Amino acid sequence: MNNRLGLTLPGPRRADDGADHLTPDITKIKATGNYHDQSRVRKLKVQPQVTTGSFQVTDPAGHRIPFAPGDYLVLKLEDVPVAAAAGLAVLRVTEAASRTQNASPSTAVAAVPLVKTAKQAPAPSNFHPDKAMVDDGDKIVLRWDGPGDLDYKIRSSDGNPAPGVTTKGEWKPDPGTGPKRDTTYTLIATDPNTGRQHFLTTTVQLRNPTFESGIHASRVQGTANTGGLTFTTDGVHVSANSGAWGAVHADKVEAGQVTAAKIHGGRPNAGALLFTTSGVEVVSNAPGGQGILLADRVNAGRVQGKSTNDGWISFPGAGIQVSSGTYLDTPKNGCVFAEVGIFQNQSFSGGKENRWIAMSDGAEVCVIHMHEDGTRSYGDMKVSSVKNDFARW
C-alpha cells in the first residue's frame, strides 16, 4: 500500500541555473498527478515544497493509495523553465509504502537522470555584399540577418584589421582602408551568455585589383572569348581564343631584337616588309605587288635591278659607275638610257651655267649650255675614244 510519493529536484538550493540544476524557479512548474488502476483514473494531490525544492504527491482525502498488480501512478511536470546551463540534472524519487494496510511504511529512493541542453540563440544568416563586384574597395557594404543580442565581428582575408560593427546587420570599411584585390570576409557572431560562435563567409571582387607581390600563373586567359598569354621558359606566347597565334597591338614597341617573317604597316592598305633568305623585300598591299621604298637618304654600296641579271650602279669615290651583268661577274661598263638628256652642273668664275647632252627623236646628239641670263647656246662635243661596242641613247 502506497501512502506518499515525493519528487526532489537536484541542486544544493533545489532551484538554480547551473549545469546540474533543472530549473531556477520551482513555483512556475505546473505539476499534476494521476493514479491508474484496472478500471479508473484518480486525480492525486501534488504540492510543491519550495524550501526543499520538491513535490509531494498524496491522495486528496489523505487516505492511503492501494496499488494492485498492474496499477501505476503518473506525475507530469509542465511549463518547466529549464536552467540555462546545459548538463545532467538527476531527479530523486522518494516512495513511502507498506505491503499491508496496517504495517508501517518504509522509504525507497530512485534516481531519474534528465539531460538538458542550453537555450540556443537563433544563428545569423544571409551574409552577403550589396555588390559582389565593385570598382573601389572603400565602397563595400556587407549585410546579414541575425539577432541583435549577439556580438558581431568582421575578419578580412587580407590580414588588415577590420573596424568594429556599429550598425545592426551592416558593415563597411573605413575610408581608405578598403581592399585592393578580391577579399573573403568572415562574420563571427558570439553568444555573450554561452560563448557559442557562428561563422559565415562571403567574397567581394574588384574589377581592377592590385597585387603587391605580383601574379604567378602559367597562363592568363582573357574574358568573353578573347585570347590569352602563356608563360614559357623563353618568354611569353600570345594566342587567340582558338589557340592559334594571336596579335599584339601597341602604339610603340621597344625591343633589343624582333624576329618576324613579315611586318605590315599600320595604316589601311599599307605595304609590308617581307624577310626572305636573301634579304628584305618591300611589297605593296596588292597580292604579289612590289612596293616602293621612300627615304630622304639611302646609303648603299650598290643598287641593282630586280633581276640578278640586271645592271647595277656602284658608288666609287669619283662618282657613279654603271655596270652590266650580275655583280658576281667581272664588272662591265653599262649603258645610261635617258629620254631627254643628261644634265651637268658646273661652277665657274663669274657665274653659273647648266650643261646637258640632249637627244632628239632624229637620233641627233648635241651639247646645250644654259647661261645665267636665260639664253641657250650650242656647245662642242669632243670624243677622244669610245670604249663600248655601241653607244645607245
Predicted pLDDT of residue 346: 52
CA angle in degrees (0–180, nearest 5) for 49-55-59: 110
Predicted pLDDT of residue 169: 94
Predicted pLDDT of residue 352: 58
One domain, residues 39 and 21: yes
CA gap 91, 77 in Å, rounded: 12
Residue 26 has pLDDT above 50, yes or no: yes
Number of separate domains in the chain: 4
Residue 12 has pLDDT above 50, yes or no: no
- Do 379 and 355 form a contact (C-beta atoms < 8 A)? yes
C-alpha cell at 23: 530549473
pLDDT range class, residue 311, cuts 50, 70, 90? confident
One domain, residues 88 and 136: no
Based on its alpha-carbon atoms, the radius of gyration of the chain, rounded to whole angstroms, reads 55
C-alpha cell at 284: 605593296
Of 98-102, 121-125, 131-135, 267-271, the range with the lowest mean pLDDT is 98-102
One domain, residues 10 and 111: yes
pLDDT range class, residue 92, cuts 50, 70, 90? confident
Per the structure, the complete domain to which residue 61 belongs is given by 2-116
Predicted pLDDT of residue 60: 87
Predicted pLDDT of residue 343: 64
What percentage of residues in the chain have a pLDDT greater than 90? 19
Residue 149 has pLDDT above 50, yes or no: yes
Residue 68 has pLDDT above 90, yes or no: no
The whole-number average pLDDT for the span 74-90 is: 87
Residue 389 has pLDDT above 60, yes or no: no
Q: Give domain status of residue 197, yes or no.
A: yes
- Do 274 and 283 form a contact (C-beta atoms < 8 A)? yes
Question: How many Cβ atoms are within 10 Å of 22's Cβ, its own excluded?
Answer: 25
Among residues 206, 239, 257, which one ends one of the domains? 206
One domain, residues 41 and 87: yes
What percentage of residues in the chain have a pLDDT greater than 70? 83
Classify 139 as helix, strand or coil.
helix
Residue 101 has pLDDT above 80, yes or no: no
Predicted pLDDT of residue 363: 54
Residue 327 has pLDDT above 50, yes or no: yes
Q: Give domain status of residue 147, yes or no.
A: yes
Predicted pLDDT of residue 362: 56
Please name the helix (run of DSSP H) or strand (run of DSSP E) that holds residue 219, with its range, or none: strand 219-221
Q: Give domain status of residue 160, yes or no.
A: yes
pLDDT range class, residue 347, cuts 50, 70, 90? very low
C-alpha cell at 40: 479508473
Letter string b/e over residues 45-59, b meaning 16 or more CB atoms within 10 A of that residue's CB:
ebebeeeebbbbbbb
One domain, residues 37 and 112: yes
Q: Which amino acid is at 22?
A: L
Please enumerate in sequence order all residues whose Cβ is within 8 A of that of 208, keeping only pairs 6 or more positions apart, or say none.
135
CA gap 101, 145 in Å, rounded: 65
Higher pLDDT among residues 129 and 337, named by residue: 129
CA gap 180, 123 in Å, rounded: 31
Burial of 296 (C-beta count, 10 Å sphere; 0-12/13-18/19+): exposed
Q: Give domain status of residue 265, yes or no.
A: no
- Do 202 and 131 form a contact (C-beta atoms < 8 A)? no
Q: Give domain status of residue 264, yes or no.
A: no
Predicted pLDDT of residue 390: 44
Helix ranges (H only) for 203-336 are none
188 bridge partner residues: 153, 199
pLDDT tens for 200-257 read 999 999 998 888 777 888 888 888 888 999 999 988 999 998 889 888 888 888 999 9
Q: Give domain status of residue 389, yes or no.
A: no
pLDDT range class, residue 392, cuts 50, 70, 90? very low
Classify 307 as helix, strand or coil.
coil
One domain, residues 129 and 201: yes
Q: Give domain status of residue 238, yes or no.
A: no
The whole-number average pLDDT for the span 281-301 is: 84
One domain, residues 31 and 70: yes
Predicted pLDDT of residue 96: 82
Predicted pLDDT of residue 8: 59
Strands 219-221 and 228-232: antiparallel
76 bridge partner residues: 32
C-alpha cell at 11: 541542486
C-alpha cell at 199: 561563422
Average pLDDT, the chain: 81
Predicted pLDDT of residue 200: 95
One domain, residues 137 and 199: yes
One domain, residues 108 and 92: yes
Burial of 137 (C-beta count, 10 Å sphere; 0-12/13-18/19+): buried
- Do 14 and 26 form a contact (C-beta atoms < 8 A)? yes
Q: Give domain status of residue 246, yes or no.
A: no
pLDDT range class, residue 51, cuts 50, 70, 90? confident
CATH of the domain at 21: 2.60.40
Among residues 167, 186, 206, which one ends one of the domains? 206
pLDDT range class, residue 350, cuts 50, 70, 90? very low
Residue 172 has pLDDT above 70, yes or no: yes
One domain, residues 107 and 9: yes
Among residues 116, 146, 161, which one ends one of the domains? 116
- Do 155 and 186 form a contact (C-beta atoms < 8 A)? yes
Residue 52 has pLDDT above 60, yes or no: yes
Give me the DSSP letters along 330-361: PPEE-----SSEEEEEEEETTEEEEEEEEE-T
Phi, psi of 27 (to 5 degrees): -70, -15
CA gap 387, 392 in Å, rounded: 13
CA gap 360, 338 in Å, rounded: 11
Predicted pLDDT of residue 119: 67
The whole-number average pLDDT for the span 91-95 is: 85
One domain, residues 74 and 159: no
One domain, residues 108 and 155: no
